[in-house]
Amino acid sequence: MQGTIKKIFTHYWSPYIAMGLAGVLSALYFGITKTVWAVTGEFTRLGGHILQLFGVDVSDWAYFKLVGMNGTTLTRTDGWIVWGMFIGALVMILFSNNFKIRIPKQKRRLVQGFAGGIIAGFGARLALGCNLAAFFTGVPQFSLHSWIFIAATAIGTYLGVKVVNTAWWKGKPVLSKGNTAASPSAVKKRVVQPYVGAGIALAYAALIVYFFASGKTMLGTAAIFGAAFGILIERGQICFTSAFRDLWISGRATMTKAITAGMAISSVATLVIILVYGLEPITKIAAPSTLVGGILFGLGIVLAGGCETGMMYRLMEGQVVFLPVFIGNIIGATALAYAWDHLGVFNLLAKSGSKINLIPLMGPYGALFATLALLAAGFAVAAYWQKNYRFGTGFKKGDTTHVR
């Protein structure tokens, strides 16, 4: 029993398990709350609230009317999905004694992460949602826009890989002088992080109890699901950036296949919930803004070094570089909110779009079959790519020694 507990808290989980569970939870969350697992919409609202603190009147901004600015981040379910993810990831990191402040040796990485975060945030909101809104909301909700976004993200990440591999982006390597005189301490360091994690977990559990006791059941539900999502992305080390970037750099497709499998599970579970409870699937517009936003998002997450989900648990690990990524995401999303009507972005790229859902077009089972067929094709392509295009140090074409 002790060995099992240790394995759960100290070893990373299979991304297939993490994504499969996330797919089921995403469907259940939709069934309970009639809303979805997403993060950048709340990032946009945070940007709006910050502007309000500085006296900016955003009441007539069309994009803020679209996403809704009622309440605060602590009184919205979308807020507790975000903060729950941060807290869930942090607790698991502390339980595994893995928190450590990590400052990049190349300070340019802070600027690069900030710039990438701005581009990713702008692109995500231009497309009306980031990777979660497409992969784990759009696809399982049978919204056509999600497939446009996925293809565009692939293009954007490919362009991003080309940029980060250039010499001017990489800069000169920073070498540090080793200290051969230093020797490991003979005294074992006291492990305190798990106790801190337990304290945070208990405090968070008390907050959830308070939500339910005070009649704020939706906030309590969002807090539970947010923490669960945070635990899964951290333990599975889920990063949508690596799902694409690794294909272009090393041919590795483990994360790609795991996310694809998770989307398939979520699609089945979501359709069951839609049919049993008679719910309307959430559909976003498919428009040029979806394509352009997806490309910008894919480019940005590679420049930043991680998508929103990857950023969240890596920031909780103490990786300082992801703080400017987080800030950049909020700035980019807020900039899009301004550009939406003030600079004519809506009229130029989004106005011509329309909401297209596969269920009315093909029927529920036809929509599911088409979705699963596309996901199966994607999984097969990823597996083929991994088998035949492995490269880099220690790898050669056809080498499957290190492939899971």
Question: Three-state SS string across the chain, please?
Answer: CHHHHHHHHHCCCCHHHHHHHHHHHHHHHHHHHCCCCCCHHHHHHHHHHHHHHCCCCCCCCHHHHHHCCCCCCCCCHHHHHHHHHHHHHHHHHHHCCCCCCECCCCCHHHHHHHHHHHHHHHHHHHCCCCHHHHHHHHCCCCECHHHHHHHHHHHHHHHHHHHHCCHHHHCCCCCCCCCCCCCCCCCCCCCCHHHHHHHHHHHHHHHHHHHHHCCCHHHHHHHHHHHHHHHHHHHCCCCHHHHHHHHHHCCCCHHHHHHHHHHHHHHHHHHHHHHHHCCCCCCCEECHHHHHHHHHHHHHHHHHCCCHHHHHHHHHCCECCHHHHHHHHHHHHHHHHHHHHHCCHHHHHHCCCEECEHHHHHCHHHHHHHHHHHHHHHHHHHHHHHHHCCCCCCCCCCCCCCCC
Return d(Cα 354, Cα 285) in angstroms, integer.
Answer: 5
pLDDT tens by residue, 93-127: 999 999 999 999 899 999 999 999 999 999 999 99
pLDDT tens by residue, 312-363: 999 999 999 999 999 999 999 999 999 999 999 999 999 999 999 999 999 9
Q: How many residues does the chain have?
A: 404
User: Which residues make beta-bridge pairs with 354?
Assistant: 286
Residue 60 in tokens: 């007539």
- Does pTM top 0.85 for this prediction? yes
Q: Please check the confidence at residue 180 and state whether its pLDDT lies above 60.
A: no
Residue with tokens 């309000």: 52
Average pLDDT value for the chain:
90
pLDDT tens by residue, 255-288: 999 999 999 999 999 999 999 999 999 999 999 9
pLDDT tens by residue, 291-326: 999 999 999 999 999 988 899 999 999 999 999 999
